[in-house]
Amino acid sequence: MSASRSERLLNLLIMLLVQQRYVPKERIRQVLYPDQAGDAFDRMFDRDKEELRALGVPIEVGQLSAYFDDEVGYRIRPDDLALPEIALTAEEASVLTLAGKVWHHATLADSTAAALRKLVPGLPLEAGSPLSISEPRITAEEPTFDDFWTATQERRTVTFDYRTPGSDSAGRRRLEPWGVIRESGRWYVLGLDVDRKQERIFRLSRVEGATRLGTRPDAFQVPAGTDVREVARRLKPATDKQPLDVLLRTGAGHALRRRGTLLASGVSGPDGADHWDRLRVEGALSEVSAEVLTLGTNAFAESPPEFRDHVGGRLDQLVAALSVPTTGTAP
């Protein structure tokens, strides 16, 4: 780390902060970059501004004079720079400590640590008693996660190769990312597919090779009122879910019971006995049928009729297949 760079960054911040008016670029150069000129100075100055902005320092750019519009100045408003007064109790401080351990991902863990450091001066001296909250963790193993996170954050377009399920080769996509979402242990990105001019959702693990971020930040706007979760729900491949009624023997079918609603107990079942429960499950016919079949004589597909016929039909075929001695080769 270069001490002189740190000095320069801090001095730049102070210089722009303590002036009431915009500081001309040339004045900044004379004081802080006396050995630099022309393009070299521009590049150095741009990098330094970028570095300060990354730290959360808002640098304003303004026109110095009404007559010469090429004269640019810079300033930092003290009220824009300062963290609003936040007072936290010891209990609230321990919540923050816990939050600092959530991200099991290098970049995001660093960002969280930087945020917590800024909050340190506002924390009470005495430590709070530990709360009864177990430590959650969020991971992101997908190599392209950082890029999609940054692109979402900075509203840059992303170009990447994507392999659609069932196809052998990957196709090039250009996306304006609106948000990232994690579900069932996987990260997805959703947004506007620029070439198809439609909302799309992509699974990060199906992105092949490297991504390319657009050079321009704020390259697009997320449509006002976009609810990422709602969009994700809308874009999910449609499964033909329907209400299906299943009879389960009392005490059987735990997996199905967890996802369904109990409608009645002590129902008369297909064997004539009345120790059955009626359960309503919302699901795809083939998938719920598989669950019912798994349970053998402990479950019965009751209604609608096509559900009943589907399960009954599969059992007929299985009985037929098993009744013929198999030779070990295809029929």
Partner 1 sequence: MSRAGTGSRDQVARLLALVPLLHRREGLKVAEAAAALGTTRAQVVKDLRVLLMCGLPGGMPDDLIDVDLDTLEEDGSEGVIHVSNAEYLARPVRLSATEATALIVALRAVRDSSSLDSREVVDRVIAKLEIAAAEGSVHQQIEITPEESVAARTRTDLDTAVARGTQVRISYFVPSRDEVSDRTVDPVQVATVDGVDYLEAWCHSAEDRRVFRLDRIQALELLDTPATTPPGAADEPLSIHLFTASEDSAEVTLLLAPGARWVPEYYPVDHVRHLDGGFTQVTLRVIDVRWLHQLVLRLAPDVTVVAPESVSTEVLRIASETKNFYG
Residues 23-52 that bind partner 1 (CB under 8 A): 31-32, 47, 50-52
The number of beta carbons lying within 10 Å of the beta carbon of residue 108 is 17
State how far the alpha carbon of 188 is from the alpha carbons of 105, 181, 198, in Å.
16, 5, 16
Query: CB of 169: closest distance to partner 1 in angstroms?
Result: 21
Asked if 95 interacts with partner 1 (CB under 8 A), we say yes
Whole-angstrom distance, CA of residue 260 vs CA of residue 249: 15
215 touches partner 1 (CB under 8 A): no
Q: How would you classify residue 231: left for phi > 0, otherwise alpha for psi between -120 and 50, otherwise beta?
A: alpha
Q: Rule CB under 8 A: which of 106-135 touch partner 1?
A: 108, 111-122, 125, 131-135
Tokens of 117: 């450091």
Nearer to partner 1, 255 or 263 (CB): 255
Tokens 């990312």 sit on residue: 177
- Owner of token pair 């969280």: 112
Least distance from partner 1 to the Cβ atom of residue 192, Å: 13
- Report in angstroms how near the CB of residue 276 gets to partner 1 at its nearest: 11
**What is the closest distance, in whole angstroms, from the C-beta atom of residue 259 to partner 1 in the complex?**
12
Q: Decide if 300 contacts 269 (C-beta within 8 A).
A: yes
Binding to partner 1 in span 229-268, by CB under 8 A: 229, 232, 252-255, 258
Residue of 176, 169, 111 whose CA lies nearest to 140: 111
**Nearest distance from residue 198's CB to partner 1, in Å?**
19
Q: Which stretch binds partner 1 (CB under 8 A): 35-43, 163-171, 174-182, 194-202?
A: 174-182
Total interface residues for partner 1 by CB under 8 A: 118
Instruction: Out of 26, 60, 183, 274, name the contact with partner 1 by CB under 8 A.
Output: 183
Instruction: Work out how close the CB of 67 gets to partner 1 at its nearest, in angstroms, rounded to a whole number.
Output: 26
315's CB contacts (< 8 A; 6+ apart) are 293
Tell which one of 22, 41, 45, 178 touches partner 1 (CB under 8 A).
Answer: 178
- Does residue 224 touch partner 1 according to CB under 8 A? no
Which range, of 65-73, 104-112, 196-204, 238-246, touches partner 1 by CB under 8 A? 104-112
From CA 241, how far away is CA 304, in angstroms rounded?
13
Amino acid at 309: D
Give the span between the Cα atoms of 195 and 176, in whole angstroms. 10
By C-beta, is 18 or 262 nearer to partner 1? 18
